[in-house]
């Protein structure tokens, strides 16, 4: 059963979908459903391979060798990456290492 988000104006939960908008029955405020879906995506929790929640600035370790697309470079297992940055999309982690700047999937990382 999908739940509707609380009203961003009055913060009450008496809301309902109406066409492509959500409507608050208490204050009458309307906002598009697409904005609510984007907010949920921005607040998504990123977890490492062990289920630990990752945050900006964390240090992580690679759990397997990763080949870099379009290059002969290989990121070795056990490499520690400091000060990660979480971003949206398929590759959730943005980081800098000796070989350059990389975007990695969180399933290949564990929190250090």
- Do the domain assignments include residue 66? yes
Q: What is the mean pLDDT of residues 1-12?
A: 77
- Do the domain assignments include residue 3? yes
Domain of 100: which CATH number?
A: 2.30.30.40
Greater confidence, 34 or 15? 15
The tens digit of pLDDT for each residue in 46-91 reads 899 998 999 999 999 999 999 998 889 899 999 999 999 998 888 8
The parent domain of residue 34 ranges over 1-43
Domain of 39: which CATH number?
A: 2.20.25.10
d(CA 26, CA 24): 5
Q: Is the Cα torsion angle 18, 24, 28, 32 positive or negative in sign?
A: negative
How many domains does the chain fold into? 2
Chain mean pLDDT for the chain: 86
- Do the domain assignments include residue 15? yes
Task: Name which of 44, 11, 8, 10 is nearest 21 in CA terms.
Answer: 8
């Amino acid at each position: 059963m999908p739940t509707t988000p609380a009203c961003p104006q009055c913060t009450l939960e008496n809301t309902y979908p109406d066409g492509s908008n959500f409507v608050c029955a208490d204050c009458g405020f309307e906002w598009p459903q697409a904005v609510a879906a984007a907010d949920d995506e921005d607040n998504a929790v990123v977890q490492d391979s062990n289920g630990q929640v990752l945050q900006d600035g964390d240090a992580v370790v690679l759990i397997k060798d990763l080949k870099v697309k379009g290059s002969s470079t290989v990121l070795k297992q056990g490499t520690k990456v400091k000060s990660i940055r979480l971003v949206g999309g398929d590759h959730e982690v943005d980081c800098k290492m000796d070989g350059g700047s990389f975007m990695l999937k969180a399933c290949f990382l564990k929190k250090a």
